Amino acid sequence: MSMPSIKKVFSPDVLFLFLISAIVFLPYAIRLTYYLDDWYYIYDGIVAGPNIFHSMFSVDRPIRGYFFDVFFSLFGPYPLTYHLGAYFWRLAAGVGAFWLLNIIWDGNNRINFLISLLFILYPGYSWWVSAIEYQPMAASLALQIFSILFTLLSIQAVEPVLKIFYALVAVITGWTYIALVDYAIGAEVFRFLCIYLLISHNVSERILKRIGFAFRAWIPFSAIPLGFVIWRVFLFEGGRKTTDIEFYDSKFITAPVDYLLKMGSDFYYGILNAGVNAWFKQLYYRLIEVDFGVPALSGILVLLVAAALAWMGYLWMRRDFFGGQGLLQTMPREALLLGFISLSFGVLPVVVFGRSINLGIYSHYGLPVSFAAAILLTGLICYLPSRCLQFVVISGFLVAAALTHSLLGEKTLVLKNSLESFWWQAAWRIPGFRPDSTLVTLYPHGQIVDDDLGLPEAANLIYFPEPREETPVRFLVSIIMPTEKNVEYILMGKQKKKQGYRTHEMVVDYGNIVVLTQPSPFSCVRVIDGNNFIFSERDSNPIRRIFVHSKIENIRMIEDRNPPVFAFGHEPEHGWCYYFEKVDLAVQQSNWAGAVQLGDQALALGLAPADPVEWFPFVQAYAMTENVEKLKNILTQTESSGFFNEQICEVIHRAGSKFSPPAETRDLLEEYSCH
């Protein structure tokens, strides 16, 4: 047995793996920041330091604590390094896969390249946009590939020292990838099958003898799954039920039939989603989300053209791509069997422990079997009757995968930009918060998180970023979304509820809320004063119901806090929303002169709102200072908005209203608003 030459392993094919994958992923890696749970990793790390990650994962996967400790110590909270890291692991896995395939199917570089490219672009995994939380999953996949690669290199090696060295690298990387992602242990079946194929291609014995040879070659590497299982079952004491083996033993004993039926269903759909649906359903879901507000379709088109040019360049470079290089005769059949068996055994550990593989929030459970899925797909394509048809189908899958990732990246950028804009506006409006207050946030794209929380880490990172020696980390302000359940709790006057996860906790006080709402991407963030507000036509009924409970006194008049650039980007241009927030803040302070000065600046710049409700603090400022000319100018602009005018009329006549203008401007307001 001989190892593939360095020329084959590090051929120009590898350059094209890098080029095509870089075109697809790097434009987003350099622009994305944090996504969903990334925020709590960063906030916990900033407040408590890198050691917090050991406590975070001590209950289930302790090696991740060391992984994040090293990563955070090296790179801190800067998101670019994490996104580049996630891409590096993806590329490394693809290059390792190409090398591995060239060992198994030597002489089939073109097909091995296709499998590796499909693997790198595998569209079933959608959490690459969350590069911090899912960094260990990406690293585990790369280590999994290299562990199996070094297994084959060890079997091939002739020199004892080299054989032992390769074997040690395989075992160490094997233990590491499983320790990072325990449900990836099913890849050990893939390891055995690769050993079997390598031996089968070099001996002409009957199948049973080849299995025997493969088993003997596998024995040293059995230390990987056996070592992990012994540690996990007999030595490690976990504290999280989702990874607790005894917990699932008890579930099976309690209701074995129900457990097996559910496991069978999850197993079937796991194979279907990871091996079949991943290639086209993810694209369908992403295309539906175009209505979500993805604006950069021209950017996606440029990306696809660039990827197509790179693909054409590859075909030109390898002009024998569809001819002159014969397939190993048994390769398509072996690819089908290797892909399907590995996919099946890779899904099994996931469903045994009560999880499932879908194309949404659980898409990461399919990542360890993505290589098997790419091999299976390529095996099927090899059975198509003509090379021209193979080319069309392969190109179609590559375009679909690239488009899937591009649409996901664009959607995530929309959310990222929206979130950054929201909190910059909030920071302009809010100098500080009283600790233990609860914010109710309505983001312009609705509920952008998976539960009823509203990213409390964002507010705490702005207003309470100071390091503290405490575990768990306490979020000094909590944030909830205006879900039906939370609205009911607020209306009922339900007081407090402690919530926490891993290494942080907070107290949600339903009786001490501040409402922050941005009902559309074209609106500004409004901080609601429960005693001085009007509604926007865009405000939903649930959010309107709790306006009166919003306690503006929870906003502290202290030195302004600017959001950190590494998390929220650079300060936006001072347009209409900047002046709206500053005028609204001045109105809260009854600083009428300051409000008028800011209002004059905004009007002089020709700025105006997209939502008439945002004229309200300007109306108050000019009315209270008896500036009839400016007030009349605003009222003329809002004359067509009956909804706005009716509320102005109602506010000035409301008993105990904070807005009580002098007689002259009151008469003017009644003339324009009270019909």
pTM of the model: 0.89
Distance CA 244, CA 250 (A): 10
Distance CA 395, CA 98 (A): 19
- Domain ranges, ordered by start, for the chain: 6-31+78-412, 573-675
CB 553 within 8 A of CB 437: no
* pLDDT (0 to 100) of residue 326: 45
Q: 555 forms bridges with which residues in the sheet?
A: 433
Please, where are the H alpha helices in 546-615?
565-568, 576-588, 592-604
Mean pLDDT, each 10-residue run in order, the chain (675 residues): 51 84 92 92 93 88 93 94 96 96 87 92 94 96 97 94 95 96 94 95 84 93 93 74 56 70 88 92 80 56 65 59 54 92 94 86 92 94 83 84 89 90 95 92 69 82 92 91 90 84 89 93 93 90 91 88 92 95 94 94 93 93 90 85 85 80 85 80
Q: Which amino acid is at 319?
A: R
Integer-rounded Cα Rg, in Å, for the chain is 30
Q: 402 forms bridges with which residues in the sheet?
A: none
Report how far apart, in Å, the C-alpha atoms of 307 and of each of 21, 98, 118, 121, 259 are: 8, 19, 13, 12, 45
Please, where are the H alpha helices in 383-464?
387-429, 456-463
The SS3 of residue 626 is coil
Does the CA dihedral 506-507-508-513 come out positive or negative? negative
Distance CA 357, CA 437 (A): 38
Does the CA dihedral 250-256-258-263 come out positive or negative? positive
Measured in whole angstroms, the distance separating CA 466 from the mean position of its chain's CA atoms is 26
Q: How many residues does the chain have?
A: 675
Distance CA 188, CA 183 (A): 11
* pLDDT (0 to 100) of residue 667: 85
* pLDDT (0 to 100) of residue 328: 61
DSSP state of 550: B
Two structure tokens written together for 55: 């406590």
Q: 499 forms bridges with which residues in the sheet?
A: 506
The SS3 of residue 453 is strand
CB 563 within 8 A of CB 27: no
Two structure tokens written together for 253: 């004993």
